[in-house]
Amino acid sequence: MKTPLLSVVIPAWNRAQLVCDAVTSALAQRDGEVEVIVVDDASTDTTAAVLEREFGRRIQLLRLEHRRGPGGARNAGARLATGDFVAFLDSDDVWLPGKLAAELEVFARFPDASVVVSDSQNFYEGEADGTSRFAQNGLLEATRGQVRVASECRWLWTNSMNTVHTCSITVRRESLLKLGEKLFAEDLVCCEDWEFQMRLYHSCRVVVLPQVWSHVRRFNDASRAGRGVPGRPTTPEQELTLLRSRLRVIERSDWLQGLDPNLASELERFRHETSVKICGL
């Protein structure tokens, strides 16, 4: 069997009404060259049945007996990936047609790049929510709208507020394997994506593609356990969970050696800010 060009890992928990959109958007990227791996994270609804009915052997469906959270589900799926490139797509998000083709052009232009990150647009209950992610995290201004190597951009990724969305990241599998078997933390309710991204940005050559190729959709469907829902104020418990997760990531980031002074300063500033907020709750 021909090695797939791209492996897509989609974690899903109780997303029978949405996950098919994500799968369809992935399969549509390059017909016959995309390997879709859906990890059903011990759903209690009809997620698995819907996927089997709609896609059959067009996808790999891994069903976990016990819920492991987004980090554990992504890790389980990544172990099955065989493609030259690997990407992660949440079950409520979708890729726009042409995303993979645009990223492959960037990889061809920068053959020593390990990672390409592209822009995305938030949606809440079907309506566009604010500006694009790169407009929010500083990457649009830093790149001036041009494809650039991340090290050329004054982008303070040591602040979790400046992350890109996980569905916007495509990695060469050979580079991903160097990070070890556990790519995402499994002991965090949130911020596991930030920790994963910091590992990539610190160890890989990353190229920034300032074009929107993903729609990040949020719905008030009770699927964000322990996390806030866009459009609604967070509860004190949710805010504390988020802050404690941020601080835990920072406190165990001693592997971030030789950081650019601006990145190191922002990490320390963010640590202090997070600690003060925790004390205030």
* Spatial CB neighbours of 267, under 8 Å, sequence gap ≥ 6: 158, 159, 250, 253, 256, 259
Q: Convert the pLDDT of each residue in 43-81 to its tens digit.
A: 999 999 999 999 999 999 999 999 999 999 999 999 999
Question: How many residues can be counted in the chain?
Answer: 281
Q: Are 213 and 96 in contact (CB under 8 A)?
A: yes
Taken in order 86, 246, 126, 10, the sign of the CA dihedral is positive
158 occurs within a structural domain: yes
Spacing of C-alpha 220 from chain mean position? 20
84 occurs within a structural domain: yes
Beta-carbon neighbour count of residue 276 at 10 Å?
A: 10
> Where do the DSSP E strands lie in the chain?
6-12, 34-40, 60-63, 85-88, 94-95, 115-124, 127-128, 148-149, 169-172, 206-218
Question: Could you list the pLDDT tens digit for every one of the 281 residues in the chain?
Answer: 467 899 999 999 999 999 999 999 999 999 899 999 999 999 999 999 999 999 999 999 999 999 999 999 999 999 999 999 999 999 999 999 999 999 999 999 999 999 999 999 999 887 888 899 999 999 999 999 999 999 999 999 999 999 999 999 999 999 999 999 899 999 998 999 999 999 999 999 999 999 999 999 988 765 555 555 555 667 889 999 999 999 999 999 999 999 999 999 999 999 999 999 999 87
23 occurs within a structural domain: yes
Q: Taking the CA of residue 265 as centre, how many other CA atoms within 13 Å lie in the half-sphere pointing to its CB?
A: 5
DSSP string, 82-150: -SSEEEE--TT-EEPTTHHHHHHHHHHHSTT--EEEEEEEEEETTEE-SS-HHHHHSHHHHHTTS-EEG
What is d(CA 259, CA 48) in angstroms, rounded to the nearest whole number? 43
Q: Are 119 and 212 in contact (CB under 8 A)?
A: yes
Q: What domain count does the chain have?
A: 1
Q: Convert the pLDDT of each residue in 23-49 to its tens digit.
A: 999 999 998 999 999 999 999 999 999
1 occurs within a structural domain: no
Q: Are 171 and 126 in contact (CB under 8 A)?
A: no
CATH number of the domain enclosing 20: 3.90.550.10
Q: What is the pLDDT of residue 225?
A: 52
C-alpha distances in Å from residue 39, one per residue of 6, 32, 70, 133, 152: 16, 20, 10, 26, 36
Query: Residue 89: which domain range?
Result: 6-280
86 occurs within a structural domain: yes
